[in-house]
Amino acid sequence: MEPEPEISMLVQEIINCKLCPRLVEYRAEVARKKVRRFRDFEYWGRPLPGFGDLNARLLIVGLAPAAHGGNRTGRMFTGDSSGDWLIKALYETGFANQPVSRYKDDGLKLIDCYVTAVARCAPPKNKPLRSELINCQRYLIREFEILRNIKAILTLGRISFDWTLRALNILYGLDRRYIHFRHGVAYDLRGLGKRLFVSYHPSRQNTQTGRLTWDMWIKVFRSIRSYLDGVG
């Protein structure tokens, strides 16, 4: 099957998913109560599928939608500060057509890049439970199967790193013993023809404390750009 119908089916499945009762309740409650600054906004309040270029060579894996970001706007990394960092870096390195991501229909197009996450529903305190990550793992595995041109994978934060490796292990039997979580490192995934890039998550907690600076962040994207330009 071509990637387009396959991804459309997957998107519908994700949007209608109710596998995690705690998250089903939380995402709807956030959408109902809202926050004052977005009180006039119609929240999405459902799971979020990935988005981007189906022929992408770069796959970016985040953690989960933000309660008042993606859970509000209906698109990952859209309408929150993590999205501001991600899309600006993608734009500066030629993976996006514009530097901002504010609304679902704001004209943003990802170029050679697809963005997804290890959990598709906003979790309380940005912390999905292990059981919820297990439930959601099936969707990342399907994306790996559908997106056949992936050459570079960027994980954002420890949870994304762990659960992306788990998906690659399930799919391809990846041996992860030589792979360690540290910002800015990259690994050639033996036998898979893909390189894994590791970064801290651009959450406020990291960017406002200086744990992740703009220089550290943009360097990761420049390395990915050089790598992909080299592999052709």
Residues that bind ligand SF4 (CB under 6 A): 14, 17-20, 23-24, 47, 119-121, 132, 135-136
Least Å distance between CB 213 and ligand SF4?
31
Choose between 135 and 207: whose C-beta lies nearer to ligand SF4: 135
Let me know: does 51 contact 75? Beta carbons within 8 Å.
yes
Instruction: Give whichever of 47 and 79 is closer to ligand SF4, judged by the CB atom.
Output: 47
Strands (E), the chain: 51-52, 58-62, 113-117, 152-156, 186-189, 194-199
Q: At closest approach, how far in Å is the CB of 139 from ligand SF4?
A: 6
Smallest gap from Cβ 19 to ligand SF4, in A, equals 4
Nearer to ligand SF4, 132 or 143 (CB): 132
Minimal distance in Å, beta carbon 201 to ligand SF4? 17
User: Please, what is the minimum distance in Å from the beta carbon of residue 55 to ligand SF4?
Assistant: 25
Instruction: Choose between 17 and 224: whose C-beta lies nearer to ligand SF4.
Output: 17
Q: To the nearest whole angstrom, how small is the minimum distance from the Cβ of residue 121 to ligand SF4?
A: 3
Residues 51/77, Cβ–Cβ less than 8 Å: no
Comparison of 160 and 207: residue with beta carbon closer to ligand SF4: 160
Residue 30 or residue 198: which is nearer to ligand SF4 going by CB? Answer: 30
In terms of CB distance, is 60 or 198 closer to ligand SF4? Answer: 60
Q: How far apart are CA 97 and CA 33, in angstroms?
A: 34
Q: Least Å distance between CB 104 and ligand SF4?
A: 18
